[in-house]
Structure 1
Amino acid sequence: MVNFMLKITAELDNLTNLQPQGGCDDADFSYLFKLKCGRCGELTQRETCVTLNDTVPLPVGKGTTHLIQKCKFCGRDGTVTMVQGRGTPLTNLESQSGKYAPLMLFDCRGYEPVDFVFNDGWKVESLEGTKFENVDLSSGEFDEYDEKGQCPVMISNVRATFDVVK
């Protein structure tokens, strides 16, 4: 069992608190990433989608997981289980200092998550308090104008990493 923390960062101009639409533990938010088999190293060709709402029973024992997938190369089964309560929004201060914010913890058995894909369903707020919802980061950026703060706001250079967590 290895835990991987998905961490994100971006350049936030006049913005703060970047996170999934319903918060870091949003049950409907789709996490898209590729998986690398822990046995043979094969990388999945397409992105895998995992959400907190979708669970399946474990094949052995009691309990559930969010994903069971068989490696197409070596045939080994692997699971990915999401662990709630460890994520925090990316703040303007973290963005300015180049730090990454933890978003979601994944308990992976037989697989390693790689190449997170930013999609739609994000929210962020301006430094003046204006909320921007259903932000689409699939192009890697977002720009708008904050009427309340009378300034442009922008998200650019979005990046993600998976770090091993003990």
Structure 2
Amino acid sequence: MVLFVLYVKADLENIEKIEAPPLHRWCLDLKEPTGDERRQGVWVSEEEELEVSGSRGTAHFLMKWPGAKKESQLTVVRDIKKLTRAIGAEDSGKFVPFVGFDCRGLEPYGWSPEDGYKVTAAGETSVFEDVNLSEDWADYDEEGDQSVGVYGVEYKFGITKVK
């Protein structure tokens, strides 16, 4: 299986980890691999299980490009052993393989980090739910008596083969 892996980098201030909770909604920009068609701001959710036409399989997102004979599909793949993981305190300023997308007939080229992320303060003293990472985010951890923040979020996509 060929996966498109979303790598995320951010500068962290007193942050233990950043995660996308189960059933997270991903906002992606998609393109047709063999043409010029593009779709921006497409929401993909692990909560949706769609039947793939002519197959026994399912996907989290289906679409048909103009003139295409078959549906294109995307499936969110989490917890790929020894690859994808949450962003940890030691990852500040480094790209981390955050999540994978199994794609057929489409390719992700953009990601909007919007809201829905879970941020845990250093020392695991506080957990901040539904954090929007589209801009720099800062708050105060009263339990840990420390300021916390996620700054300069950047991303890139990489391709990897998984058995």
1:92 matched residue in structure 2: 89
Please, which of 96, 117, 121 is the counterpart of residue 101 of structure 1?
96
Q: Secondary structure at the match of 1:119?
A: coil
1:125 matched residue in structure 2: 120
Give distance in 2, aligned partners of 1:161 and 1:122.
Answer: 18
The CA deviation string for residues 42-81 of structure 1, in whole angstroms up to 9 with x for no partner, is 221x311111110111112211111111224x44531111
Q: Which moved more, 1:121-130 or 1:107-116?
A: 121-130
Runs of 4+ residues deviating >3 angstroms: 74-77
Gaps of 5+ in 1: none
Q: Secondary structure at the match of 2:90?
A: helix
Report the residue type matching 1:52 in the other structure: E
**Percentage identity across paired residues of the two chains:** 29
State the TM-score, normalized to the length of structure 2: 0.87
1:64 matched residue in structure 2: 58
The RMSD of aligned alpha carbons is 1.7
* Matched residues, number: 156
State the TM-score, normalized to the length of structure 1: 0.85
Gaps of 5+ in 2: none
Please, which of 42, 51, 54 is the counterpart of residue 48 of structure 1?
42
2:76 matched residue in structure 1: 82
Report the residue type matching 1:3 in the other structure: L
Give distance in 2, aligned partners of 1:83 and 1:153.
Answer: 29
